[in-house]
Structure 1
Amino acid sequence: MVRHTCSVPFLTRTGGRCYNKMRNVCYSIKRSETMTYNANFYPACTVPAAEVNRVKGLGFLRDKTTPDRFNARVITRNGKITADEMYAIADAARRFGSGEIAFTTRQTAEVQGISFENIQPFCQFLAMHGLLVGGTGPRVRPVVSCKGTTCVFGLIDTFSLSLKIHELHYIGYHQVKLPHKFKIAVGGCPNNCVKPDLNDVGVIGAWQPVLVADACKGCGACVKACPIGAAALKSGQFTNTSDCNLCGRCVRACHVGGLDYIPGYRLTLGGRWGKQVARGQALRHLFTSEEEVLAAVEKAILLFRDKGVAGERFADTVARIGLDEAERLILSDELPQRKAEILEKVL
C-alpha cells in the first residue's frame, strides 16, 4: 500500500510550495515482522506487526512519527466524564504518555505517546479508576451524544438514552464481531449537531405536531416559526407537509393551545461519512419510548451481523436488502428470536 504525504524538511526546502510535487513524496508500509516506514520521513517501527494489530484491537493506535509509541482511546460513556475521571486521565497521560490528550469525533479522550512497554500498566491504572480503552475494530463503536438534555433545542433526554445504549449495546456487545465498524449517535433534535444521520444508526428527538382544532385561531404563528417551510394554514387551520422534520418549533410558537404534540424518536439507518458518504434513511415509524428505541438499536446490530457481508458497512447492507425490508425487520421480533443463532454465526 502506498500513500502520499509531505515531510517537514521538504516543506522547508521548498518554502512550503509542494502541492504539485506532493504525489511524488510518499512512504510505503511493508507488512513483515515489523511495520516499516520510509526512513526519509518516519522511523521504522520496532514493535512486531502482530503486536501492533493486537493492541490496535484494544484501542491503541500506532503513532507513525515514533518507533514504538501509541495513542490510547479512553472511552466516555456518552461524551461525559466526571472531574475525578478527568484527573485520572490527565495523571495517566503524565505517567505513561507524552502528557498530551486529544479528543476524537466519537467523544473519546485519546492519550498521546504511550510506549509499547507502558500499555499494560496504563490499562491497569485506568482500571483502578473505572475507565476503559477501546473504540476500534469491526464492532460497536463508542456512542456519541449531543447535549440535548440541557440544550434549549433538545426534545429528548439524550444523556439518559445514550448512557443506556452505551451500557446495553457498546459494553453489552463489546466482544461481538461485526462485518465492519458500527457507529451510533443520539441527537436531541433535527439540528443534527452530532450528525446522527451520518452514523450507522442515528436517533433523533422528535415532536410530532397534533392539531387541536377547537383551539386553533389560524393566526399563522406556527407557519412563521417553521424553519423549513413545512407548516401551512389550510382552511384557516394548521397543517404540515411531508417535509416536516418534527423539530417542534411550530408547537412552541403556538400560545393559544392550538397545537399539541406526540414526543418521540426518529431512527435513521445506514449513515456513513468518509470517502463514500451515505446519509442515513429515516424509518417511517415514530418511536415513542426509550425502551422501544433500545430494542430497535439492538435489532439493527443483529440485522447487520445476520445480513451483512464481511468488510461492508451497514449502509451497503441496507441498500442491498432495501429500506422497507430493513424497517420490517427492525419493527418485528424475528431478529431477537434468532439472537443466539445470529451471534453464533462465524464471520
Structure 2
Amino acid sequence: MKLAEATIKSLKAEGFLHNRGTENFSARIIPVGGSLSAEQTLAVARAAQLYGNGRVSFTSRMTVELPQIPFEKIDAFKHCIRQAGLTTGGTGAKVRPIVSCKGSTCVFGLYDTNALNLEIHNRFYEGYRSVTLPHKFKIAAGGCPNNCIKPELNDIGIVGQRVPLLDEGLCKECKLCNAEKRCPMQAMEHQSSEKPSFARELCNNCGRCVGNCPFGAIKGEETRFKVFLGGRWGKQIRIGTALERLYTKGEVLPLIEKCLLLFKDEAAKGERFATLVERLGMVEVEKRMEGEDLLLRKEEILSHE
C-alpha cells in the first residue's frame, strides 16, 4: 500500500516523520521541561519494543525519536505513550520544543534551567500550539555563559548571568586573591601592593568570583538574563544579537511573547526570525521589545491567517 502524500503530511504535523523508502515513521516524543521521569523512560523503551525496531535516538533539539513504526501501528503507539503522559510533536512552522542545558544541577548553573524550560514550554510550546508562524521558531535556555546549549544559534537564546559587585571597603589586600584565581576571563587584576581592580569590559558575568573573598568583598546580584535574538543554524548561519540590557526572570517570558508577536506580525511566510531581525535592524527590534504595543495588539496579531 502506497501512502498518500496528504497522509504523510498530516502525520508529520503530529510529529511522525516518514522513513525514506518505507511505510514506517519515526515518532518524535517531546520531553516536557527538558527531561523524562523514570516511568516515562521505561514507557519509551516499551513503546520502542512493541511498535518500533527496539531503538531510541535523540534529535539535535533533545527530543526522543523512535524509528520504524509501521503506519498501521501509529494509533496504538499514541495510546501507549499517552498513558505515560507523553505526546509527539516538534515539527512545522510552530514554536519548537524548548531546549536547555543542565544548569539545574551543573556546578556552573546560575538558575534552574529545567524550571524555566517548563515555564516556556507551557506558555509558548503548548500555549501557541494552534498559532501558525511564518517559519519554525526555536528557543534555548543556557544556565551560564559557558553556552553549552548554544543559545546564540536559536531564534531566542537566554543565558543566565550573575553580575559581581566589588566592595573595595571590605577588601583586606590579602596577598592571594581568591576571586582573581577563580576568574576565567582575567577580569580581576590584583597586585600585592594594591587593592584589586575590576575590568568590567572583560567580565562575562559567570559569577565564579562571587563568594570567594573570605572578607565578603565580592557579592553577586540576583541572577539576570542576557537575551540573544535572531540566531540561526543550518544552511545559513547567524549568531544572535544580544539585547543591550540584562533582564529579570519576570521580564523574560513577556519578552519571548513580544518576539513571537513581532514574528507573526511582520515576517513574510517562509521567512526566518533571523532575517526579520536583519531586515528591521536591531535598533527597531529593541524599541519594539521595550514597548508594550505588541502585547496590547496580541489578539489582533494572532487573528491573522
| Structure 1 residue aligned with 2:225 | 265
Q: Does 1:131 align with 2:91?
A: no
Give 1:230 deviation, angstroms: 3.3
| Structure 2 residue aligned with 1:50 | 6
The alignment partner of 1:50 has SS state of helix
- Point out where structure 1 has 5 or more consecutive residues left out of the alignment: 1-44
| Structure 1 residue aligned with 2:19 | 63
Give 1:133 deviation, angstroms: 0.2
| Structure 2 residue aligned with 1:228 | 185
Q: Are the equivalent residues in 2 in contact too, given 1:204–1:265 (CA < 8 A)? A: yes
Identity percentage of aligned residues:
45
Give 1:174 deviation, angstroms: 1.1
Give 1:270 deviation, angstroms: 0.9
In the alignment, the residues of structure 2 paired with residue 238 and residue 344 of structure 1 have an alpha-carbon distance, to the nearest angstrom, of 54
Q: Pick one of 198, 201, 206 that aligns with 1:239.
A: 198
Give 1:125 deviation, angstroms: 2.0
Letter in 1 for 2:298: K
- Point out where structure 2 has 5 or more consecutive residues left out of the alignment: none
The alignment partner of 1:170 has SS state of helix
Q: Are the equivalent residues in 1 in contact too, given 2:34–2:118 (CA < 8 A)? A: no
The alignment partner of 1:285 has SS state of coil
Q: Which has the larger radius of gyration?
A: 1
TM-score w.r.t. the length of structure 2 is: 0.92
Q: Pick one of 296, 299, 303 that aligns with 1:337.
A: 296
The alignment partner of 2:163 has SS state of strand
The alignment partner of 2:33 has SS state of coil
TM-score w.r.t. the length of structure 1 is: 0.82
Give 1:309 deviation, angstroms: 1.7
In the alignment, the residues of structure 1 paired with residue 185 and residue 139 of structure 2 have an alpha-carbon distance, to the nearest angstrom, of 26
The alignment partner of 1:251 has SS state of coil
In the alignment, the residues of structure 2 paired with residue 345 and residue 54 of structure 1 have an alpha-carbon distance, to the nearest angstrom, of 22
In the alignment, the residues of structure 2 paired with residue 47 and residue 197 of structure 1 have an alpha-carbon distance, to the nearest angstrom, of 39
| Structure 2 residue aligned with 1:17 | none
Letter in 1 for 2:3: V
Provide, for residues 108-137 of structure 1, a one-character-per-residue CA deviation record: whole Å limited to 9, x for no partner.
110110111222222222222211100001
The alignment partner of 1:137 has SS state of coil
| Structure 2 residue aligned with 1:79 | 34
In the alignment, the residues of structure 1 paired with residue 188 and residue 292 of structure 2 have an alpha-carbon distance, to the nearest angstrom, of 36
Give 1:210 deviation, angstroms: 1.5
Q: Are the equivalent residues in 2 in contact too, given 1:218–1:238 (CA < 8 A)? A: no
Give 1:299 deviation, angstroms: 1.4
Give 1:224 deviation, angstroms: 3.6
Give 1:53 deviation, angstroms: 1.2
| Structure 2 residue aligned with 1:28 | none
Q: CA RMSD in A?
A: 1.8
Worse overlay, 218-227 or 249-258: 218-227
The 1:209–1:59 alpha-carbon spacing in structure 2 relative to 1, beyond 3 Å, is same
